[in-house]
Amino acid sequence: MTAKKQSIFDSEIVGRGAIESLRKLNPRWMVRNPVMFVTEIGAVITTVGLFSGNGSESFAFRLQVTIWLWFTVLFANFAEAVAEGRGKAQADTLRRTRTQTVANRLGPDGSFEKIAADRLRKEDLVLVSAGEIIPADGEIVEGAATVDESAITGESAPVIREAGGDRSAVTGGTRVLSDSIRVRVTSNPGESFLDHMISLVEGANRQKTPNEIALTILLSSLTIIFLVAIMTFKLFGLHLGATFSITVLVALLVCLIPTTIGGLLSAIGIAGIDRLVRKNVLAMSGRAVEAAGDVDVLLLDKTGTITLGDRQATEFLPAEGVRVEELADAAQLASLADETPEGRSIVALAKQYGLRGRRIAEMEQARFIPFSAHTRMSGMDVGTRQIRKGAADAVMEFVGRAFPSEVKASVTMISQSGGTPLVVADKEHVLGAIHLKDIVKGGLKDRFERFRAMGIQTVMITGDNRLTAAAIAKEAGVDTFLAEARPEDKLALIRKEQAAGHLVAMTGDGANDAPALAQADVGVAMNTGTQAAKEAGNMVDLDSNPTKLIEIVEIGKQMLMTRGALTTFSVANDVAKYFAIIPAMLAGVFPAIAPLNLMRLGSPESAILSAVIFNAFIIIALIPLALRGVQFRPMSATDLLRRNLLVYGVGGLIAPFVGIKCIDLMVNVLHLV
């Protein structure tokens, strides 16, 4: 599901967010956010106070403070509503993929009956033919078909789904393009993949993550502390003969409690999931996204993740007395009937030596021998020539004698470098060797360096021998590797790392990966994989791109970095507002503290009103940052803390002084108090 890129303040989203921000004023909703709930109670108290006539302040002052307190609550609700609105826009797109699908369900007597798709239950068997919509999530139990999954993944290219392998899972709402399949339904109505996805992007059932809960408790504790402090402040004023109205005390409380991060906390979490969805990754919970941010060990399969997945021919190594063009010509002829990726790469490499592309149809007199796992060779017979290309031992058996010394040396060199040697021969004449190599994906080495700077260890897992694994690991730049790995070896490695206090992330697609996916702190299952793998993991990659794990970790870390940065900014804001407001309020009562009024605010009333206005506007100003996230930079925890303190800590201290002073000047110029 590739959603279109939306502007943060898209008119449709803003309109929906404005309405939702009003609906969220319901106390039953607000109580979920203790900081903003206290702010709402404060706004209610000042609203009631408008008509009580208490306090020495003017009605205009009390009215403006009340209005801005309500704006503070509304802006916080708006931030959350905008974050949810982006998800709801995606959910609307997903809902449009639903159709009134009719399913062909297999009855007890073996016949098929047509029923509505929403009547299907788990374990039902359905027949889906070419041109029909797959009615529900399921597992193919018979047949193979080409499936259009663009409604879910956004990818226009069809994919092959077949029974009995790691590509047997199908998703309701996708379309069969060819052939027919029998599918066993694996979900009840309301529990499908599409339902989960809609629920996720809407944020309807979003649960707070452990870190979010801990931060909420901290913010609630700070709110209680400041509430007690304000009550003490009232008693202190009465003792010294100074009176502070309820409006002033409420305004002071709202300015001092962490309303900035309190108002943006939910939006940060929702936006983190939204960024993940935009990468075509479905997280089963917010906890999984947060765990991705804490991961410090990445388990990466070699094939398809670190390497392209197919070995490619990179070099021709001719025997003594054989020209490289002659070897390339024979290798190309021997590979024409080899439809494997390796065979096609040999044909492509031969063209670099001036050879034209050839087709089997053009060579009517030739007999082609396709590659098979049994013979481990391919070739061509034409006239007196018998050209063969294949594994070294298979070709040696074909020629019936030992290889020349230079060919032996080439085979050994290729093997020791982590490659795969193929030998080309024409009857008993050995022409040379071909170097097949796993091609490491571009840019991975730099990304692994970035993770290393963050203290994240990368582990390559492969079934190859240690020699090959070591060569590829060195080229890719991973920290370590596990060679000749079996499913139980993966599971043991995960448990070992977790026992050492690490959080582990891995990808998988097969039923044999399910135990390891379930054990990992972040298990990313491929959408093309088995149902068992998808149920075992806590994330599903709709693109089935194993490299996506790296981006998932970056998104998780970005969410944690954003939350940490805005928390630092909010706390620094509160400290600055304390020193900006209190001296201005008390300077008239206690002239001795007048020098502490560094900002030289116009009056206690303008100081309070300016602070309240600033407190409301800063939430709106930070919504883009909360939704986009702070820029991801690979750095250690110490460097990250230092950066946060410098940028958001110092910035949070300075911003209130500048902002409140500017607003105070406007308030006094306009004679608002």
Mind telling me the catalytic residues?
301
Instruction: Put the strands of the sheet holding 297-301 in their side by side order.
Output: 281-283, 539-541, 522-526, 504-508, 297-301, 457-461, 480-482
Residue with tokens 């939204």: 274
Burial class of residue 587 (count of CB atoms within 10 Å of its CB; 0-12, 13-18, 19+) = buried
* Under 8 Å between Cβ of 206 and 273: yes
Cα 648 vs. chain centroid, distance in angstroms? 25
- Tell me the C-alpha to C-alpha distance, in Å, between residue 374 and each of 378, 389, 395, 396: 11, 14, 13, 15
Report how far residue 472's alpha carbon sits from residue 349's, in angstroms, rounded to the nearest whole number: 21
DSSP three-state, residue 357: coil
Tokens standing for residue 429: 């004449």
Q: Which of 93, 96, 135, 131 is nearest to 114 (CA)?
A: 135
CA distance 78 to 72: 10
- Integer Cα distance of 544 and 508 in angstroms: 10
Query: C-alpha dihedral over 300, 301, 307, 309, to 10 degrees?
Result: -150
Give whole-number Cα distances, 630 to 210, 237, 296, 537, in Å. Answer: 21, 42, 20, 28
Copy the structure tokens of residue 457. 């260890």
- How big, in percent rounded to 5, are the helix, strand and coil portions of the chain? 55, 20, 30
Q: Which one-letter amino acid corresponds to residue 299?
A: L
Rounded to 5 degrees, what are φ and ψ at 322?
Answer: -110, 125
Residues contacting residue 210 through CB under 8 Å, at least 6 positions apart: 287, 290
What whole-number distance in Å separates Cα of residue 53 and Cα of residue 117? 64
Backbone angles phi, psi at 664, to 5 degrees: -60, -40
Calpha distance 63→69 (Å, rounded): 10
Q: 417 — alpha (psi -120 to 50), left (phi > 0) or beta?
A: alpha
Tokens 């490619």 locate to 312
